[in-house]
Amino acid sequence: MPVKTIFETKIEHVSILDEHGSFDADLGAGLIPDEDVVAMYKHMMVCRHLDEIAFKLQRSGRMGTYPENRGQEVPPLAAAYVLQEKDWMVTCYRENAGLFWRGLPMEKILLHWMGDERGNHIDNCNVTPPAIAIGSQMLHATGLAWSSKYKKDGAIACTFFGDGATSEGDFHEAANFAANLDLPVVFVCQNNGWAISTPTKLECSAPTVAQRGIAYGMDCVQVDGNDIFAMVKVVRDAVKNARDNNRPTFIEALTYRLGDHTTADDARRYRDADELAMWEKRDPMIRLRKYLEDKDLWSSAQEEEQLAEASKIVTTVVKNAEEIEAPTSNDFFDCMYTDLSPQLQLQRDTMRTSSLGQDPSQVTIQPKEGAVQ
């Protein structure tokens, strides 16, 4: 046969709790224990409150540029919920809900955006600091997964990135390494419709972003990223595939950035009000609250109580972040290397780069005998 089909594939979309609150029991029943759903909802409330406060801190000059997470709580939270402690979560900067679930102290994130590297010094929860260079972190996740496979410690890596990030060459290389070397990585693309002002179709004009993964022979799937049930399901499958088979999966989570790109951005310049309004109705918290209330797992009273609790938590977090002692310039010298070279020590101790300033004794050095002078 001169023309024969040698490969066929398809992309599926998974949804369980849809934007109208209808719930698919076939897939969804028993997926997440009720108390966990409640716990996640409560957690999302705290995260969202922190997000609002962070925005205000920036606006009042108490913090630098901050990227709002609002609307994108579900994908990272679902992943954090599914992952084991030993696993790695390698994120970009809109995954607060997942990082906090894993135990990252909230003030770390505030400190980061307050221009303080101590926000990135993270103990014991196997997460990495915000990735400022878009696309850079997926390779680290692939390497971390590789290290686990090498050490046979059974851990996997789950990495998060935006739709825009899939345009970077590093995304391609990370996915290709993971697929070709059989590494346990879960790639989660948060397709939130935009990369700053650039719409997703300019980053990926294919019908789905999910099909990026076909290039590597990976399993790939698209999921409603505002649906905690669907998200948990697809991440669970992917994690299993990684842990049991050392195979990566590509997940496209459809979600939306309800705020501006960052506090330095004004999305009204490029984004239709209608689009925003439509997505506001799809807010993951609205449908989840409705679901819980319908099942009598949540009440207005609890909502108020949790709002108060969130406010209390966040107040403490902000206080901790703001009251940390000022960093000193020693910090950026001492942490360049694990050891300090004499040159760097001199710069640190004098806070000068000019040689006369560093070594005033030079002024009195005696010319060598016989020197031309």
Partner 1 sequence: MANLTLVQAINLALIQEMEKDSRVLLLGEDIGLNGGVFRATEGLFQRFGGDRVVDAPLAESGIMGTAIGLAMGGLRPIPEIQFEGFMGPAFDQLTNQAARFNTRTRGGITCPLTLRVPVGGGIHAPELHSDSPEAIYTHTPGLKIVMPSSPYDAKGLLISAIRDPNPVIFFEPKRIYRAFREEVPEDEYMVPIGEARTVCEGEELTIVSWGATVVQCMNAIEKSGKSIELIDLRTISPIDMDTVSKSVNKTGRCVVVHEAPKTCGLGAEIAAGVMEHCFLHLEAPVQRVCGFDTIMPYYKLELDYLPDEQRISKAITETLAY
Ligand X SMILES: Cc1ncc(C[n+]2csc(CCOP(=O)(O)OP(=O)(O)O)c2C)c(N)n1
Active site residues: 257, 261, 270
DSSP 357: H
> Residue 370 class from Cβ within 10 Å (0-12 exposed, 13-18 middle, 19+ buried)?
exposed
CA distances from 244 to 62, 236, 371 (A): 47, 12, 75
Residue 165 beta carbon to Mg ion: minimum distance, rounded to whole angstroms? 8
- The binder of 206, among a second copy, ligand X, partner 1, none, by C-beta within 5 to 8 A per type, is a second copy
The tokens for 155 are: 């851990």
Residue 250 pairs in a beta bridge with 187, 220
Listed residue (214, 263, 298) closest to 69, CA to CA: 263
| Amino acid sitting at position 223 | V
Q: How many CB atoms lie within 10 A of CB 122?
A: 17
Spatial distance between the Cα atoms of 243 and 186, rounded to a whole number of angstroms: 10
Spatial distance between the Cα atoms of 373 and 158, rounded to a whole number of angstroms: 67
Contact 65, 58 (CB under 8 A): yes
Residue 191 beta carbon to a second copy: minimum distance, rounded to whole angstroms? 13
Q: Which is nearer to partner 1, 262 or 311 (CB)?
A: 262
Interaction pattern, residues 161-180, with a second copy; x per rule: CB under 8 A: ------xxxxxxx--x--xx
Q: Which is nearer to Mg ion, 143 or 162 (CB)?
A: 162
Spatial distance between the Cα atoms of 192 and 295, rounded to a whole number of angstroms: 29
Binding segment for a second copy (CB under 8 A), chosen from 5-13, 308-316, 336-344, 350-358, is: 5-13
- The binder of 192, among a second copy, Mg ion, partner 1, none, by C-beta within 5 to 8 A per type, is Mg ion
Binding segment for a second copy (CB under 8 A), chosen from 58-66, 85-93, 199-207, 316-324, is: 199-207
Nearest 10 degrees: Cα torsion 255, 256, 258, 261: 130
DSSP 159: E
Residue 118 beta carbon to ligand X: minimum distance, rounded to whole angstroms? 21
Residue 332 beta carbon to Mg ion: minimum distance, rounded to whole angstroms? 31
Per CB under 6 A, 194 contacts ligand X: yes
Per CB under 8 A, 35 contacts a second copy: no
Count of residues in contact with ligand X, rule CB under 6 A: 17
Interaction pattern, residues 172-191, with ligand X; x per rule: CB under 6 A: ------------------x-
Spatial distance between the Cα atoms of 2 and 190, rounded to a whole number of angstroms: 41
Site for ligand X in 82-101 (CB under 6 A): 94
Contact 157, 238 (CB under 8 A): no
Site for partner 1 in 35-94 (CB under 8 A): 64-65
- The binder of 115, among Mg ion, a second copy, partner 1, none, by C-beta within 5 to 8 A per type, is partner 1
In sequence order, the 6+-apart residues with CB closer than 8 A to the CB of 302 are none
Per CB under 8 A, 368 contacts a second copy: no
Site for ligand X in 135-154 (CB under 6 A): 135
Site for Mg ion in 144-163 (CB under 5 A): 162-163
List interacting residues with a second copy (CB under 8 A): 2-16, 24, 26-28, 167-173, 176, 179-180, 201-208, 210-217, 222, 230, 372-373
